[in-house]
Amino acid sequence: MNELILVRYGDLLLKGRNLKLFVRTANERIKEKLASFPVRYDFRHDRAYIDINQVSADEIICRLQKVPGLYSFSLLSHCEIDYDQIAELAIGLIQEKTGGKTTTFKVETKRADKTIPETSMEISQIVAKKILRSLHFLIVDVHTPELTLMIEVRKDGAYLFIDQLMGLGGFPIPMSGKAVSLLSGGIDSPVATFCALKKGIEVDCIHFESTPLTPIESAQKTIDLVKVLANYSINETMRLHLVPFVGIHQLILEKVPEAYQITIMRRMMLRIADMIRKKNKATAIFTGDSIGQVASQTLESLATIQHAITGLVIRPLANFDKLEIMSIAKKIGTLEISNRPFNDCCSVYVPKNPVIRPDTLTAIQMEAIMETKALLEKAVSETIVLDITPKTTITLLNGALTVSEAME
């Protein structure tokens, strides 16, 4: 019964003089996501209509809900501007929606074609009366109805819909620039990466692998997480930088007092991430830090760690509770992968009593006894770069102990 999908742009419409560019970019992302379907498009300045051409509406909307920059969708049915036809179509939609169950409802009309003599309210009243004559289980409630029938009357006919399905919101990629995101393999960092994508940022992921100190399965987790996140990116492709961190990791375990090991490790990671950021002409670094969740995420720890670089660090999950983060992870499809029981280098050697209020000067003095510059440069130069899509079939679980061996 549904012939069209209405796409609304949401916050894009606030962009003033840049509106056309944002909408055009959103439309490009729509066409990329639906390229395999024989659908037709009618792009307007404030919305888009997609003729589904007998394709499953559910499948199309499932794909559109992975496109940043789209606010909501509605399944539309179209007919001539004839009140009997409108009412007949509406009756079918309501019966399908309610199954004949007693339901409160109202009709709302938007009359875009001002040549029609009846006002929007008059059209609503005319159609509602015709519906009520046929559907006796409906009860009028204009304030808090369980069901609202929406009618848009345009020059080319009447469009009817009931439900409004929510999209991601945000902005289309890459309208907000480029960033790198630290991706561990846990629950939080994939959600932080998703938050960047949702805001229209093109993202490269960075994972610090310490095989064989850490299990190779932890690196495989990261690849599988990026496969899921790629669904939300341009052309369903994301770049993953696998940084060999084992040399620096071993040096920290040997030279740094246990309480400061995580602090120094995170400072080194941020330095490497900043080098990769500059190399790839990105503007910011995203992390999955949530204030107070672990010892390295107290305000004092975050300040000491960030002191290692001058680049912009963004923490979209800073004030999120763990259950909120888990809820998003489940929704976007990363939670099950993150819950695989394989630790990364930040969690496999966790000190019993990590410092929760590290001193920046003390951290600098500890780093001074280590020759790290050459190791940092070596880690960046030996980084393995992969372009990942949802269909990527890379597997590291072939008996190798290290990522470099598995990739040979």
pLDDT at 346: 65
Give the integer Cα–Cα distance in Å for 392 and 395.
9
Answer yes or no: is pLDDT of 118 > 60. yes
pTM reported for the whole predicted model: 0.90
Per-residue confidence (pLDDT) for residue 314, from 0 to 100: 98
* Alpha carbons 272 and 146: distance in angstroms, whole number: 54
Averaged pLDDT, 339-362: 81
Give the model's pLDDT for residue 404: 87
Higher pLDDT, 182 or 46: 182
389-407 confidence digits (pLDDT tens): 999 998 887 778 888 888 8
Q: Residue 50's pLDDT band (boundaries 50, 70, 90)? A: very high
For the chain, give the mean pLDDT. Answer: 92
Residue 345: per-residue pLDDT:
64
Q: How far is CA 359 from the centre of its chain?
A: 35
pLDDT-derived band at 261, boundaries 50, 70, 90 = very high
DSSP 289-350: --TTSSGGGSHHHHHHHHTT--SEEE-TTTT--HHHHHHHHHHHT-HHHHTSS---TTTTT-
pLDDT at 144 over 60: yes
For each of the domains in the chain, give its residue range(s) and CATH number, in order of start: 4-166 (3.30.2130.30), 178-407 (3.40.50.620)
pLDDT at 399: 77
What is the DSSP code (8-state) at residue 5? Answer: E
Distance CA 145, CA 262 (A): 55
- Mean pLDDT confidence for 100-126: 95
pLDDT at 294: 84
Lowest mean pLDDT segment, chosen from 103-117, 149-163, 346-360 = 346-360
Q: How far is CA 219 from the centre of its chain?
A: 21
Which amino acid does the sequence have at 321?
A: D
Q: How far apart are CA 10 and CA 18, in angstroms?
A: 14
More confident residue, 197 or 112: 197
